[in-house]
């Protein structure tokens, strides 16, 4: 009988001894490995915070005390310890547990996350609310060193230090740059500086010396220099936080003692811990990047089944980028911390001086690209659709307004499956097409993707090529760098009465439907500029029109078709098929499309009803 079998909620942790808590951490780690091997998910990041999670739920009174997890891909142990252990087999599955914190899922999930660098802002809001309402709960934000690269985290730190809220920020640092600072001396000093005696002396000294400003300033400088000799915390002290650490994030005794001390302190506190990503699982420790997000795998060997056959759209882009860069020295590749996910690994290895990973800083990525473009270079920003949302002002103000030739390679357009609504690219067509100057291309297969990437790259202005996650229909990819005529679609099948205007990833399903309904199918290729001549031709030769896209119906490509028809003075029955006006939860991508009525069967049913009314 394992300890984990008897632990369902944080209250159960408080009954365990320190040795038992350490044993529980080992069992949690094994349980996470076994679970993720069957469901897929984020592995290395979760293995790195097991001891921290155990310590937090042991020391704090959750859910009364609030834990806010940044990004959220480090919360599997948290889910297991907060009543969801029995449902972990449904993780990231249809109608199962979310892979991220979700307020509707549990009262222990204080704030829903999926994008990075939001934890400190949200936790500060909660801590401020507690103060205003006279409530005595503690608020903790857990943020990784990667998420600290985003400006929003520092905006929140700057605000928090001036508000004197009872907020604890824990920096989970799994980098190696400060590992030498973790040791007995530093652990001792951190315990000392987090204790009541030290802080009472600190406050008392400030009170006495406040009547002698020069001596107070001298004492503060001396304290800063003393702490600076053994800690890298001067920056956070300047923000107004009491900096503590770094300490070993896998030492439960030190974590619990330190957190217990901090819990008794008031004002903004900053605890710096050092962890090892993938801790306790050799393959993940050796390759934490490769085991950050994984599919199903063999837990004994760490090996996953190899996907064979067709290349993914991400791989098509990566090959195109490398091929184009070899011919054009002006091409610069930019990614906001998603080099591997966006397919830039080969490019980075071949052209390291032209590869820029700017960290989790989407706003900076776009304005940095704009600056490069101003000087005659040709930046390509590889970015997930869901992360592009975070840089919308920069896209408008710094790129579109100045009509700069910055190309966006937008991955994960449409539904993304297991990652769910926080990562779905459901809105990019809608928020892009309203911008002046921009070209928007939506390839329907792998070969078209390569050609449209070339077309957009050679366009002398802002451009975006939007493609889905995973593999396409399996089109033969021509090796050249040929362009396509801007703003021109093509008829893929000629039928009667009904014309389907399909955009991007749903062209293949539209062709299946068309065979059954004897419909015309147009692969529109471009959302902006639209092929208005083709739209007019289809409207004048067919009785019914249907627009199909894997994007929100509101403001999407179908809306653009309706606007074009109205401008032409053409009145024609038009059905819009696309993503519904709700957030689509995680699950198998094919099943999700079917639930949205965007598989061949769903389209056929909706169209049949439309033309029969």
Q: Mind telling me the catalytic residues? A: 277, 362, 390
End-to-end CA distance of the chain: 63
Cα gap 49→45, rounded to integer Å? 7
Integer angstrom CA distances of residue 589 from 68, 317, 508, 549: 29, 21, 15, 15
Q: Are 84 and 31 in contact (CB under 8 A)?
A: no
- Checking 149-154 for CB contacts under 8 A at 24+ apart, the result is 149/117, 149/337, 149/359, 149/360, 149/361, 150/116, 150/117, 150/359, 150/360, 150/361, 151/117, 151/361, 151/363, 151/364, 152/117, 152/118, 152/121, 153/117, 153/119, 153/120
Peptide bond into 529 cis (omega under 30): yes
Residue 105: name the closest of 115, 117, 91, 121 by CA. 91
Q: Are 158 and 239 in contact (CB under 8 A)?
A: yes
Residue 447: name the closest of 527, 507, 387, 380 by CA. 507
Q: Are 256 and 18 in contact (CB under 8 A)?
A: yes
Rounded to an integer, what is the distance from CA 567 to the centroid of its chain?
A: 39
Cα gap 599→286, rounded to integer Å? 41
Which pair of tokens denotes residue 593?
Answer: 């499309």
Cα gap 580→566, rounded to integer Å? 23
Q: Strand ranges (DSSP E) for 413-509?
A: 439-441, 463-466, 490-493, 498-502
Cα gap 36→28, rounded to integer Å? 12
Q: Are 485 and 323 in contact (CB under 8 A)?
A: no
Give the three-state DSSP class for 584.
Answer: coil
Residue 330: name the closest of 347, 346, 354 by CA. 354
Q: How many residues does the chain have?
A: 613
Q: Give the strands of the sheet with 544-552, arranged side by side.
A: 490-493, 520-523, 498-502, 544-552, 574-579
- Checking 261-265 for CB contacts under 8 A at 24+ apart, the result is 261/191, 261/194, 261/195, 261/196, 262/168, 262/194, 263/59, 263/60, 263/138, 264/196, 265/194, 265/196, 265/199
Cα gap 28→604, rounded to integer Å? 47
Cβ neighbours of residue 396 closer than 8 Å, sequence gap 6 or more: 435
């Amino acid at each position: 009988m394992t300890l984990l079998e008897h632990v369902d909620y944080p209250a159960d942790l408080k009954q365990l001894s320190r040795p038992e808590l350490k044993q529980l951490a080992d069992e949690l780690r094994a349980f996470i490995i076994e679970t993720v091997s069957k469901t897929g998910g984020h592995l290395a990041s979760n293995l790195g915070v097991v001891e921290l999670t155990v310590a937090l739920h042991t020391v704090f009174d959750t859910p009364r005390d609030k834990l806010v997890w940044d990004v959220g891909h480090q919360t599997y142990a948290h889910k297991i310890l907060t009543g969801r252990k029995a449902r972990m087999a449904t993780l990231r599955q249809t109608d199962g547990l979310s892979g991220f914190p979700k307020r509707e899922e549990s009262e222990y999930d204080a704030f829903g996350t999926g994008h990075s660098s939001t934890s400190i802002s949200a936790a500060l809001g909660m801590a401020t609310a507690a103060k205003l309402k006279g409530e005595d709960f503690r608020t903790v934000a857990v943020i990784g060193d990667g998420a600290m690269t985003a400006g929003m985290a520092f905006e929140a730190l700057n605000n928090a230090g001036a508000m004197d809220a009872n907020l604890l920020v824990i920096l989970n640092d799994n980098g190696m740059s400060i590992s030498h600072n973790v040791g007995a001396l530093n652990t001792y000093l951190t315990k000392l500086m987090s204790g009541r005696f030290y802080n009472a002396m600190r406050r008392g000294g400030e009170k006495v010396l406040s009547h002698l400003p020069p001596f107070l300033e001298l004492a503060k400088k001396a304290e800063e220099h003393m702490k600076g000799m053994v800690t890298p915390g001067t920056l956070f002290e300047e923000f107004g936080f009491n900096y503590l650490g770094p300490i070993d994030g896998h030492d439960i005794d030190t974590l619990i003692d330190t957190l217990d001390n901090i819990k008794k302190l008031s004002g903004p506190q900053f605890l710096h811990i050092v962890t090892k990503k993938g801790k306790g699982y050799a393959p993940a420790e050796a390759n934490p990047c490769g085991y950050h997000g994984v599919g199903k795998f063999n837990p004994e060997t760490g090996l996953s089944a190899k996907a064979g056959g067709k290349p993914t759209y991400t791989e098509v882009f990566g090959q195109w980028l490398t091929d184009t860069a070899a011919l054009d020295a002006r091409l610069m590749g930019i990614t906001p911390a998603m080099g591997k996910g966006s397919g830039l690994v080969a490019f980075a290895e071949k052209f390291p001086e032209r590869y820029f990973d700017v960290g989790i800083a989407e706003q900076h990525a776009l304005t940095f690209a704009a600056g490069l473009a101003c000087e005659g270079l040709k930046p390509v920003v590889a970015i997930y659709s869901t992360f592009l949302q975070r840089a919308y002002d920069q896209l408008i103000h710094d790129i579109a307004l100045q009509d700069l030739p910055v190309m966006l390679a937008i991955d994960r357009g449409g539904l993304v499956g297991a990652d769910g609504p926080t990562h779905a690219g459901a809105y990019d067509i809608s928020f892009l097409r309203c911008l002046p100057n921009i070209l928007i291309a939506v390839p329907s297969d792998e070969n078209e993707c390569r050609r449209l990437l070339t077309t957009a790259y050679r366009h002398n202005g802002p451009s975006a090529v939007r493609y889905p996650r995973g593999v396409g229909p399996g089109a033969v990819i021509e090796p050249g760098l040929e362009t396509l005529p801007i703003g021109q679609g093509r008829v893929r099948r000629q039928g009667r009465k009904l014309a389907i205007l399909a955009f991007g990833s749903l062209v293949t399903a539209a062709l299946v439907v068309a065979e059954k309904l004897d419909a015309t199918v147009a692969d529109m290729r471009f959302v902006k500029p639209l092929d208005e001549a083709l739209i007019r031709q289809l409207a004048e030769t067919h009785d019914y029109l249907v627009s199909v896209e894997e994007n929100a119906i509101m403001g999407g490509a179908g809306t653009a078709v309706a606007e074009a028809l109205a401008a032409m003075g053409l009145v024609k029955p038009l059905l819009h098929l696309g993503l519904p006006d709700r957030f689509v939860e995680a699950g198998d991508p094919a099943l999700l499309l079917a639930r949205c009525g965007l598989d061949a069967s769903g389209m056929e049913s909706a169209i049949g009803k439309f033309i029969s009314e």
